[in-house]
Amino acid sequence: MNPLALPPNLLHRFYRGGAGIAELRGIELADDHMPEDWVGAVNAPFGSEGEGLSRFEDGTLVRDVMAADPEAFLGPEHVARYGPDVGLLVKILDAGQRLPVHFHPGRAFARRAFGDPHGKTEAWIIVSAAPGAAVHLGFAAPVTTDTVRGWIRDQDAPAMLAAMREVPVAAGDAILVPAGTPHAIGEGILLVELQEPTDYSVLMEWRDVGVTEPDGHLGIGWDRALEDLDLGALDDARLAALSGRSGGRRLLPAEADAYFRAERVRGGDELDAGFSILVALAGEGMLGGRPLRRGETVLVPHAAGPCALGGDVEAIRCRPADPAAPEGAW
């Protein structure tokens, strides 16, 4: 097997964005609400049957091709631990406006509420950020469910944001966002997102973003939807453990290994055998005998074996959970 190109796969979403993706990918947008490129996606958005599924250049669905030979794509160690489930969705996300305050449920809640083994822990790798760009992440001090319910009832976005930590970001930053953590990505940020393969988002701020209140609580009611919200404070030590700016190859803390892994790779690096999705951010070169240049995305099956990365290309290598992650992580 050889590395396989993944064409752009942009989705129309409720928030503005996409110009940064268009520039990176060298494509034109259908409208100004195309802020997410789902790369190698084998899952569809919440409430959709087939939207968002990725295809290879010949038009075949990535999901179907991988399902036909999971060991070749994912490797025997992954399949032995996790089955034929890749457990990963990679996105290129371009925020043309501040995203609403929201959070994602974790695995235990997703099993109970939706019969799904995956919640939505995610991580952001900042590709570019406008001057002064920031994200809101976690609460600065503990809050109560009654307080949150009041904010939601009144749709008091300023109060929600004021209660959260504002974290400045710049190109090269990486942040792990555990399920349950309230967050909002700020305007002017282009990032590569690794996440569990679901689309469960509890939108605490829903009225002014063009969705209905039932969409906000995923149709299960606020009492139940808020059960998985982390009401505690995100202190400095915890924030430092989740975020970083690394000049090295590894981008995310060990805590992420039970969900996904990310590396910054450059020409001259040797990539060990293993399923991965590469998002090329700069330069051009070769990967396993095929050209790779800025703006391209490639799926590398496990069966491709070790691959040398040549030239001056720089990419983010996105990988599934580590099969050696602690027991009970899945």
According to the 3-state scheme, what is the secondary structure of 147-204? HHHHHHHHCCHHHHHHCEEEEECCCCEEEEECCCCCEEECCCEEEEEEECCCCCCEEC
* Burial class, 211, CB count within 10 angstroms (exposed 0-12 / middle 13-18 / buried 19+): middle
From CA 161, how far away is CA 155, in angstroms rounded? Answer: 12
* Cβ partners under 8 Å of residue 223, min gap 6: none
Q: How many CB atoms lie within 10 A of CB 239?
A: 14
Q: What is the pLDDT of residue 247?
A: 67
Element (H, E) at 245: strand 243-245
Q: Let me know if the fold of 7-245 is the same as that of 256-320.
A: yes
Q: Sign of torsion, CA 288 277 97 234? A: negative
φ and ψ at residue 232, rounded to 5 degrees: -80, 175
Q: Give the chain's residues under pLDDT 50.
A: none
Residue 14 CA from chain centroid, whole number = 17
Residue 96 CA from chain centroid, whole number = 17
From CA 135, how far away is CA 208, in angstroms rounded? Answer: 19
Question: How is residue 130 written in tokens?
Answer: 């406008």
Q: What is the pLDDT of residue 328?
A: 55
The residue ranges of every structural domain in the chain are: 7-245, 256-320
Q: What is the pLDDT of residue 245?
A: 64
Arch. (CATH architecture) of 256-320: Sandwich (2.60)
Q: What is the pLDDT of residue 327?
A: 65
Superfamily of domain 7-245: Jelly Rolls (2.60.120.10)
Which single residue is written with the structure tokens 């089955």? Answer: 83
DSSP string of 269-304? -EEPSS-EEEEEEE-EEEETTEEEETT-EEEE-GGG
Element (H, E) at 126: strand 122-129
